[in-house]
Structure 1
């Protein structure tokens, strides 16, 4: 895969594509993504990896400055940006950390835990590098030996090849049907199309103009909405439904952009969940007296009641989708006699100086586990979680990472929500009654699985384009290290300026983590929620099985079977968050089916990226204004309790 055979170099010599300009641009994009993901994650529980978008924006920036970057340097830009931008989820700042703030001493045996900035740095350091050091050996297995598809990573490689006018990468991969290898027809179709596509000569100027315009539009709307909050809380279905049942619409261009990036099938699944959760189960629980509090209350309101059905759907979908992966994993370990097993060849053509040495991997894993365990003990104390439990959390995280990465490689979905619940179940068994330990150890395990999965998509892209795995490894380390400070600082600022969880940043996944931890300790469910959990859990177990079957056989209807995780997210978020994403999904579908010249048309992705980044950057400006006491200009049009930042 290397462009030329490199000469002897020292093990510590950085690969040629690991350049200052590539890392600097990657960090710039990653920091923007980090703030965007932190803001959106605290609002909706959903973050975007933005791998393809990072590569695209890096390409445009390099041409604008101009600082021309090779295709391999763009890979470093992308890898660094993703490692930086996804830390809010990996370090639990959109889930675990807000959940610790919700603890109740009378109920949970521990007072609320609100980490200081320094404690947040210590916690982030404890989980930031385990997944990075875990990536090289997993890469060897799933990318080189098994050649799993990793659809998003493959699509990014095709984009980079088009932008740099390179020959299309060889994306022929092997899908498994039992033990017999078959070709991935969908990926081969993309490969054939890529051969016919070339970057338009004027794409650089058009692409930059589209990115800048969408960035400015989204940023301006967000800035204006800060001073006039009613703009982002439109009673689209009437004031009664908005006030009593939380049916409002947020015309955020960033949400529309996220819907475009997610695609129509995913946003449709979320919207179906929204209709069932907020249109049927929420009124049912309220009117039946099962959830007597205000509809939006997560404790005794309808939102807290439907949370349990959402949790059951997430667990059922994630666990069922993992079963084939687990079965194949053990089948590979213990093949049956007489059954023909497809030989797995080692197709890695990289030279040793471009790979990550095993000594680095072993030393890094041991160091990250031992130092991480020590830092967790320093931050939370012996009463919070015992060091042996943290060590088990890292070990479990390593095992779950393998399952998560394999699921991601075959389905393009990293089931971290289900993996997190598995870790909570395990620690409820070994450390019964300790909710703090359950949350922390579960977060440690989830961090490794989520980080290793996200980084594996980038390593797949690098493998197809011919980038140095060592250069990507360095980019991952730098991005993760910088993001420790960026993410912790950003969360601390948000925590000072806003109530978290609160109206502006409800942090819905925090309630998922804490509710399951409480259930595992107390065994108490809200009134009549159990029957709905069992019913919808069973339904989506069957749905997930059908979707997994259709995906693996590449049946035409596979993409139209609802995603259980996306469906459940529709329960977690109020309709205002989901409706705008549905708009984006519809725009994506119409553009792709009617206006796109081919599947490699990336104009809409450019615009969507600008929408997401524009609001992400402006959220930082809004945060600064809030910190210095600059309030809204007018609450005109706001309904009571529905406009973030408005006291009306």
Structure 2
């Protein structure tokens, strides 16, 4: 009987083994959802540099699908679905396919000392294998510290746990948080306003407990109609490209200054998920970058080329200001995390020296039994093997001239240390500063392997991979902890999801590079230019004319703004979310106005819905619609990719005289 219950995905009250949660159905659904997210995130990442973790959406979709099965999944199995899906879906960023891989393809032998590097499919598999697992093996020991001992908030993971508990009619999870600053108690019910924070990789608000009626009402109907509408619009835009390149302010501004509008429902959905404060920050950056700095650089002769040119045009010029803002924001935001980390280390040593007589009596707050935890031996052996094999694979893929094996090994070790900082920042603020940590790694490698742009980019990618994986998976582990899911079952899901995503992501990227020029009109890959530009700056020290003045001014301004925002967020002050986000502001520079405007529409819709139509602030109906919008375009992008691969082109280029229609101009 117990065997049948396991096969059907049931978890009895007497069976708490990981096998009762780690079922074939849960893993299969997680991989299915994760593969869709993988294509979706690669599509949007190459377009705008933004991907979404989609943990809450993965758990909701998994729950809805399981309602159609003869035996619905338990709450713990849904968490395995979510964990597997996230591990599968976020590989495009973790393995650098939206940033460092396109950046390597942009190199110029005359300028960079190395010809462009375009990875074959098998080389992409090797690179992905090199970075796919060491962040996963770091998760169990970090979980012990930040979730069990320090009980950090991890707002996205907490919100997902609340949703899962309501959907399965479980008692609400204990969401009382012990903050490191003073260890004061903070109940989410007492927050005057939910906080919304963002990075270029993930956005999720800190939500109060979700009401049962609103959660149960958000079901298949809303998800399906929003999915279909977005999919149909995306397909129409493929055959009639002007649909996604509307010259909102006329052909002159569209053609000469890149001011067009993309009425993509997926970007509207992303804006809904981000919230109004974040989309406002992004559009403030868009206005400053494209309506103020771009004309100044153009008319002053500092960027004389076409506006959209990343080398001689104002788009490449304002990129440097964007980079300065992101670096300043990351450094200031990480400073308190770093200082508290070392303070904690010192404090623990002091306490240990004062209590030598009490050695062996340290209280363990772990609530799981040994058979449900990941053994330490697995972690040590797995991490060591992943680093050794990863170092070897990087050497095989890029050669001795690309990056030396000892440098790669140091990159893995540095990535591990930076991952701890990323997880702590994420746990306290819901911001995973992976872009900033990658730049820190680039700075370090400019010192230990100077003049080697390839090594600089690869080392930054290794550090970013570890921080991205450890942070995203820690949100899932927080959800599992609150809903009493097995950490070992989640660990299995993470390993399987990462393994499958190696092949899915590499194959998807290979298909995109065969069908489209990357970077190109359809997929500009803006973060690739950030990686390459910083590597060039660290080697040559040359900046475009007058760029340094504006970089210093904006870096100083956003250093102050980031300090104020960090102060307000860490003290849970309600107006913290209205302070501009430096990273979101900088993304407004990186992306052309077409992408930011649609997200602002989503942010405004979210604000109006929450203020006028939502039953309360836990009403997730609009989030369900937003998820359908995002998935609709993401899934249909696979259809568009296949059409492009088999030579099926656009039906009409009418209205594309401004030259911004990807299908007509490429």
Of 130, 136, 139 in structure 1, the residue corresponding to residue 140 of structure 2 is 136
In structure 2, the partner of 1:490 is: 508
> Does the aligned pair in 1 maintain the 2:425–2:431 contact within 8 Å?
yes
Tell me if 1:239 matches 2:257: no
CA distance in 2, matches of 1:283, 1:115: 37
2:57 paired residue number: 53
Q: How many residues align?
A: 636
Q: Does 1:297 align with 2:315?
A: no
1:124-166 per-residue CA deviation (whole Å, 9 max, x = no partner) reads 0000001000000000000000000000000000011111111
Hey, what's the Cα distance between the residues in 2 that align with 1:365 and 1:240?
Answer: 55
C-alpha distance in 1, partners of 2:362/2:270? 38
How does 1:25-104 map onto structure 2 within 5 Å? Answer: 25-104=29-108
Q: Distance in 1 between matches of 2:215 and 2:407?
A: 57
Q: What are the within-5 Å matches in structure 2 for residues 214-233 of structure 1? A: 214-233=226-245
- 3-state SS of paired residue (1:557): helix
- Say whether residues 1:401 and 2:413 are aligned partners: no
CA deviation after TM superposition for structure 1 residue 647, in Å: 3.4
Q: Could you tell me which runs of 5 or more consecutive residues in structure 2 were left unpaired when the two chains were aligned.
A: 1-10, 195-205, 355-360
Q: Using the TM superposition, give the Cα deviation of residue 640 of structure 1 relative to its aligned residue in structure 2, in angstroms.
A: 3.5
> 1:633–1:66: structure 2 CA closer, same or farther, 3 Å change rule?
farther
Per-residue CA distance 1:288-344 (angstroms, 9 max, x = gap): 1100111011111010000000000000001100010111111111129799x9x99
Aligned residue number for residue 513 of structure 1: 531
Given that 1:169 and 1:464 are in contact with CA atoms closer than 8 Å, whether structure 2 keeps it comes out as: yes
Distance 1:256 1:156, change over 3 A: same
Deviations 1:606-625 (A, max 9, x none): 11111111101110000000
4+ aligned runs moved over 2 Å, structure 1: 2-7, 64-67, 184-197, 199-203, 335-339, 343-347
Q: Determine the C-alpha separation between the residues in 2 that align with 1:33 and 1:41.
A: 11
* Aligned match for 2:327, one of 315, 329, 345: 315
* Correspondence list, 1:189-588, <5 A: 189=191, 197-199=211-213, 203=217, 207-335=219-347, 346-588=364-606
Q: 1:389 to 1:65 in 2, by over 3 A?
A: same
Quick check: 1:607 aligned with 2:625? yes
Which residue does 2:110 correspond to in 1? 106
> What is the DSSP-based 3-state SS (H/G/I as helix, E as strand, rest coil) of the residue aligned with 2:180?
strand
Could you give the per-residue CA deviations for residues 429-452 of structure 1, whole angstroms, max 9, x where no partner exists? 000000001011111111001110
Task: List alignment gaps of at least 5 residues for structure 1.
Answer: none
Name the SS for the 2:184 alignment partner. Answer: strand
CA distance in 1 between counterparts of 2:49 and 2:128 reads 19
Taking the aligned partners of 2:363 and 2:305, their CA distance within structure 1 comes to 60
Q: Is 1:633–2:633 an aligned residue pair?
A: no
Secondary structure of the residue aligned to 1:280 is helix
Q: Encode CA deviations 1:602-647: one digit per residue, 9 max, x unaligned.
A: 1111111111111011100000000011110000011342001113
Write out aligned runs for 1:103-182 (5 A): 103-177=107-181, 180-182=182-184
CA contact (8 A) 1:15 1:468 kept: no
Residue 358 of structure 2 corresponds to none
| Contact 1:22 1:77 (C-alpha < 8 Å) held by counterparts | yes
Q: Do 1:105 and 1:112's aligned partners in 2 also have CA atoms closer than 8 Å? A: yes
How far did 1:176 drift? Answer: 2.9
Structure 1 residue 195 displacement after superposition? 6.6
How far the C-alpha of 1:406 sits from its partner, in A, is: 0.1
Work out the CA distance in 2 between the residues paired with 1:117 and 1:159: 39
The answer (yes or no) to whether the contact 2:95–2:131 under 8 Å persists in 1 is yes
Partner secondary structure for residue 335 of structure 1? helix
Structure 2 equivalent of residue 184 of structure 1: 186
Contact 1:234-1:248 at 8 Å conserved across structures: yes
Which residue of structure 1 aligns with residue 609 of structure 2? 591
Kept in 1, the 8 Å contact 2:167–2:216? The answer is no
Which string of whole-angstrom CA distances, capped at 9 and with x for unpartnered residues, describes residues 468-523 of structure 1?
A: 00000000001000000000000000000000001100000000000000000000
